[in-house]
Amino acid sequence: MEKAKNLRPAKSKLPEVRCFQCNRLLFCGIAEDMEIKCSRCGAIQYIGNSKQESRVNISSW
C-alpha cells in the first residue's frame, strides 16, 4: 500500500459570520457576545444572545 504524505485529521468546519451589508467574511467560529465592525463598509454588527440587531455606522473620512 502507498502512504499519502499529506494526511491530516479532518477538521470540523466552523460557522462563517459575514457582514449583513456587503457579505464580507468577518470571522469563522462561535461567539457568545461581541460587536464587530466590517473593515470594508463600516457596518457594525452585534453577535450573541443579548443583541440580535445590526446597525450601520455612517462616518465620513
The one-letter code for the residue type at 32 is: E
Domain range spanning residue 51?
16-56
Inter-residue contact 49 to 32 (CB < 8 Å) = yes
> Does any domain span residue 5?
no
pLDDT at 33 over 80: yes
> Does any domain span residue 1?
no
**pLDDT tens-place string over residues 4-29:** 666 666 566 899 999 999 999 999 99
> Does any domain span residue 61?
no
Residue 1 corresponds to which cell in the numbers above?
A: 500500500
CA distances from 11 to 14, 29, 37, 39 (A): 9, 13, 28, 28
Q: What is the mean pLDDT of residues 42-52?
A: 78
Band the pLDDT of 58: cuts 50, 70, 90. Answer: very low
> Does any domain span residue 22?
yes
> Does any domain span residue 41?
yes
Total count of domains within the chain: 1
Question: What number of CA atoms fall less than 13 Å from residue 60's CA on the CB side?
Answer: 0
Q: What are phi and psi of 5, to 5 degrees?
A: -80, -30
